[in-house]
Amino acid sequence: MVMKRAIILADERSERVVNGSGHVKALAKVAGLPLIIRNLRTLHAAGIDEAVVVTGYQSEKIRRALDSYHLDIPVTVVHNDNWKHGSAHSIIAASGWINQQVVLVPSDHLYPPSLIRRILNSPAPVDSVVLAVDRRCDDVFDQEECLKVRLEGNTISDFGMNIERPDGVCPGIVRISPDLVDKLKRLLEDVEISLEDSLRAMARRGRVRMLDVKNVRWISISSPQARRYAELLIQLHGDTLETSYDGEHAMLLNPGPVTTTPRVKAAVGARDMCHREPIFSNLLDSIQRKLRRVFKATDEHDVFVITASGTGGMESAISTFVPHGKKFLVLSNGAFGERLSEIADVYNIEVVPFIVPWGQELQVDSLDAALAADPDIAAVGMIHHETSMAVLNPVGEVGAVVRKHDRLLIVDAVSSLGAEQLDVVADEIDVCVTSANKCLHAFSGVASVCVHPRVWSRIKDESPRSYYLDLRKYHEFMTKRSQTPFTPGVNTMMSLNAALDELLDVGVESRMEHYVSLSSRLRNGLRSLGMALLLDENRSSHSVTIVKVPDGLTYSDIYHGLKSQGYIVYESKGELAGSYFQVANMGALEEVHIDEFLSAMGKVLSAARTQEDATVLKQHA
């Protein structure tokens, strides 16, 4: 088995200020880690078996840094005594390890593991060099600091720093062979030559092949501005910078968790905080004040923040507020309505089912009669946005009927708060539950419960059904101490606080208008691609679109095709599973994200049609 080996050039002094004047390039820190350590971790993730680090300027500092971090990859350090004369001498210093094709990387670039895997597997003659090339010149950060190339097909004909109107720029990743080492040794016997000059000479003889990086994220850390931009990329896309879910990161177009902003991501790791200190009480107070504004609640409403999913929030509401020996009427027209009954069943709460087929409109007149006929029904539960069918249910109409009969209304607004019209006062909602990780644009793991003050008297003598989810505990701790009764997800709450700031900065109404605009753009784009939508124009939500799988394709074809391009969609539930899928425009998305997704969808459909045409031709051959 051939060992996969990489050579890291860590021989240069920083020409410009990067974390301090005269700093070793390899040790400049990005998001808390030296570049050399980030490179080694990337190489390990790419499947490299051994790394050779070539040092020059301040080599002992680099050695000490390598000893200070846990490295999952074997590392050999080689010193280049002639480092001042350029990287050609570094190649010679490492020549003992270049007995086969190896990948050569600079220590001051960031790139994803997938790029290393691709350049290792790129077809080319064994005596040729393969150079990664990015054709998106205008999109490259600080392109003036990058090597530029001129192309003839898949071959590089020339390159240098000052080429005008280049065909591409280089991310700095090169696959070399022993042939290059031999040439450098012969040349350096007669004349001082740079690595760039020797590669240029090979390019002019057609011996340098191009690997198009396509949509790969990478950056050369050549300035303080580039370092700050790199930190932003890491916040947005994670340490690996992968563009495809074949790596670790993708654009989430599923109905939660959602894509979040750098501000929300940064808030998660903003600080370490003890939940029994006044600083956490201040955080909790801040979140509650902001949530009241989003729920459109009064100052008398209680708002609790629970470390749980949206389902956990609904379980806390049902188990706390339906009295023992009383009934719970559940309005259901989809998967999440059915879940309310399942929760109640676990607690042996008698459920009065009020069921219509999935997606159909709830009959409020029939609800009026049902409540009038059964005084033992203490509470009514419903879903505002039935995500499984992407329909909105008439929460205000239901609220009026339930309040008329003096019963409690418990509403699941998990996937609607922040994106749809909802007002706990005007809609006469007694208990309203939402989740942080959908239309509020925060991280998963926090549910919020807004409670009308009239509710508490209904359960004052009730024994608890749950220990952790008993909302009376939360009420007591919040009232007396501005605390939670149990250890909360402190950092997740930090993300929610930041997300609420973003929401209130633009305004709830503006956020809702943005959702309307995005969903309209998405639906029109899907229709233009010839795709059929399952859509009730009068009751459709503005955050989820249900799309029919085109004839001749499967959901798996759509899912994996989009996933390979960096987009995650969601299979529909129940009888729609397999035949339909969901695309959500929840989260920190803009019009450009919708357009890019539609472009990716078009490629998936085009590839499918090409495959189908090829199959037909083969059958008739």
Domain 273-506 indexed as CATH 3.20.20.140: no
Q: What percent of the chain has pLDDT over 70?
A: 95
Query: Of the candidates 316, 312, 322, which has an alpha carbon nearest to the alpha carbon of residue 302?
Result: 316
Is residue 229's pLDDT more than 90?
A: no
Contact 210, 149 (CB under 8 A): yes
Q: How many CA atoms lie within 13 A of 454 on its CB side?
A: 11
Query: Of the candidates 109, 94, 87, which has an alpha carbon nearest to the alpha carbon of residue 36?
Result: 109
Please report the pLDDT score of residue 222 as a whole number.
81
The counts of H helices and E strands in the chain are: 18, 29
Is residue 616's pLDDT more than 60?
A: no
Contact 510, 456 (CB under 8 A): no
Detail the DSSP E strand segments found in 36-101. Answer: 50-55, 75-79
3-state DSSP assignment of residue 615: helix
5-132+172-237: CATH, from 3.40.50.720, 3.30.710.10, 3.90.550.10, 3.50.50.60: 3.90.550.10
Which letter does DSSP use for residue 576 in this model? G
When mean pLDDT is compared over 122-131, 220-229, 434-443, the highest value belongs to 434-443
3-state DSSP assignment of residue 55: strand
Mean pLDDT check: name the lowest of 13-22, 219-228, 262-271.
13-22
Please report the pLDDT score of residue 16 as a whole number.
53
The two three-digit tokens of residue 106, written as one number: 């600079």
- Tell me phi and psi for residue 455, to 5 degrees: -70, -35
Is residue 503's pLDDT more than 50?
A: yes
Query: 167-177, pLDDT tens digit by residue?
Result: 988 888 999 99
Contact 135, 129 (CB under 8 A): no
Reported pTM: 0.67
Is residue 197's pLDDT more than 80?
A: yes
Domain 508-620 adopts which CATH fold? Answer: Aspartate Aminotransferase, domain 1 (3.90.1150)
- Tell me phi and psi for residue 480, to 5 degrees: -90, -30
Pairing assessment for the beta strands 350-355 and 327-332 based on DSSP bridges? parallel
Mean pLDDT, to the nearest integer, of 434-453?
A: 97
Q: How far is CA 17 from the centre of its chain?
A: 32
More confident call, 467 vs 270: 467
Contact 233, 411 (CB under 8 A): no
Q: Rounded CA gap, 467 and 521, in Å?
A: 46
Using 50, 70 and 90 to split pLDDT, how confident is the model at 248?
A: very low
Q: How many CA atoms lie within 13 A of 233 on its CB side?
A: 24
Mean pLDDT check: name the lowest of 9-23, 146-160, 403-417.
9-23
Query: 326-345, pLDDT tens digit by residue?
Result: 999 999 999 999 999 999 99
Query: 372-412, pLDDT tens digit by residue?
Result: 999 999 999 999 999 999 999 999 999 999 999 999 999 99
Please give the helix or strand (H or E) that residue 613 lies within, else none. Answer: helix 591-620
3-state DSSP assignment of residue 488: coil
Contact 74, 2 (CB under 8 A): no
Q: Rounded CA gap, 409 and 401, in Å?
A: 10
Is residue 15's pLDDT more than 70?
A: no
Q: Rounded CA gap, 157 and 154, in Å?
A: 9
What are the beta bridge partners of residue 105?
Answer: 8
Is residue 353's pLDDT more than 90?
A: yes
The two three-digit tokens of residue 69, written as one number: 């971090």
Domain boundaries, the chain: 5-132+172-237, 273-506, 508-620
Q: Rounded CA gap, 120 and 175, in Å?
A: 7
Check for a shared fold between 5-132+172-237 and 273-506: no
Ordered DSSP codes for 417-443: BTTB---TTTTT-SEEEEETTSTT---
HEC letters along 163-229: CCCCCEECCCCEEECHHHHHHHHHHHHHCCCCHHHHHHHHHHCCCEEEEECCCCCCEECCCHHHHHH
Q: How many CA atoms lie within 13 A of 243 on its CB side?
A: 12
Q: Rounded CA gap, 405 and 427, in Å?
A: 15
Q: How far is CA 404 from the centre of its chain?
A: 44
- Return all residues near 137 (Cβ < 8 A) that are at least 6 apart: 143, 148, 166, 167, 168, 169
Edge-to-edge strand ranges of the sheet holding 327-332:
302-307, 446-451, 431-435, 408-412, 377-383, 327-332, 350-355
- Return all residues near 287 (Cβ < 8 A) that are at least 6 apart: 303, 305, 448, 493, 496, 497, 500
The beta-carbon contacts of 572-576 under 8 Å, at least 24 apart in sequence, are 572/388, 572/546, 573/334, 573/335, 573/388, 574/334, 574/335, 574/358, 574/388, 575/358, 576/358, 576/388, 576/534, 576/546
Please report the pLDDT score of residue 617 as a whole number.
52
